[in-house]
Structure 1
Amino acid sequence: MGFREKVNKYFNNHSETKENHWDKDLQTHYFKTTKDRAFDFVTDYFKRKPGCEIIATSLPHGEISLNYKGKRKAFVIVTIIMVKPFRTAIDFSVTTEGAFFDLGYSHKLIPKLYEELKKEMTLLDK
């Protein structure tokens, strides 16, 4: 992690996952499931999670948007894409409300959400 990435990690209010992210925790995670099952599981997970309010869902686009209320309020978009049979990618985009930076909160929230998903779904290697 270079100086620019370290500064960006703590002095930013937005983090998102992508295929080749410099931080391994923020790289796209793949699960052994179908898009529909993953979509249903993630939707149910956030409906049950205290402090989460689902705003909109779009199964054809594979997107779920929600408000997350933890230590800080955040707007989360979950994108679910089936890349091969039983190989589904789940990506997160997290933007915190309020100040210009969140001291790494959005960066730390994504691995926390992935850990919760790994408890119920089978994670695949890249």
Structure 2
Amino acid sequence: MSFRQTIARYFSDHAETNDVHMDPSLKTHYYKTTAGKGISMLENLFQNNPKYRINAVSKDRGEMSASIVKGKKAFIVATVTMVRPHRTAIDFSVTTESVLPFDFGYSYKVIQELYAYADKELPLIENIRQS
């Protein structure tokens, strides 16, 4: 990751994951599970932690939106996609709600926390797509 990308991480109010991200820690994680179990795991996380509030869940589309309501406010969109039987991708998009146009890396940190939880709850296959 270049110096410019490192600076951009801290002076942005948004972070998201994808398959071809330049930052290895923001690449999609793949789990040996079904999409339904992935959505259920995220629902449990967001329902059982008072820090989060679920806004909407669409199990048939594999999407969920939640908000962080305690501390620094943020909006989270989680996408759970079953790419093959027992191979499910989970991606996150986090936008911090603040007066400033940057969050000093808070959205990045939220994604790391969400992946750390998912990695404990579900069997991780890989975090870099191999096709």
* TM-score of Structure 1 vs Structure 2, range by shorter chain: over 0.9
Deviations 1:31-71 (A, max 9, x none): 11001111111111111012110000101111100111354
Q: Distance in 2 between matches of 1:62 and 1:113?
A: 16
- Partner Cα distance (1:22, 1:118) in 2: 21
1:111 lines up with 2:94 in the alignment: no
Q: Give runs of ≥4 in structure 1 deviating > 6 Å.
A: none
Q: How many residues align?
A: 126
SS at match of 2:121: coil
Aligned identity (percent) is 44
CA distance in 1, matches of 2:34, 2:108: 27
Q: Distance in 2 between matches of 1:32 and 1:12?
A: 32
2: CA distance between counterparts of 1:2 and 1:28? Answer: 20
Q: Which runs of 5+ in 1 are unaligned?
A: none
SS in 2 for 1:78: strand
- Aligned-pair Cα RMSD in Å: 1.1
Q: TM (normalized to structure 2)?
A: 0.91
Q: Deviations over 1:68-118 (max 9, x none)?
A: 135411000000000000000000000000120000110111111100111
1:57 aligns to 2:57 (yes or no):
yes
For residues 41 and 58 of structure 2, what CA distance do their matches in structure 1 show? 14
Q: Distance in 1 between matches of 2:36 and 2:113?
A: 23
Structure 2: give runs of 5+ residues left out of the alignment: none
Counterpart in the other structure of 1:44 = 44
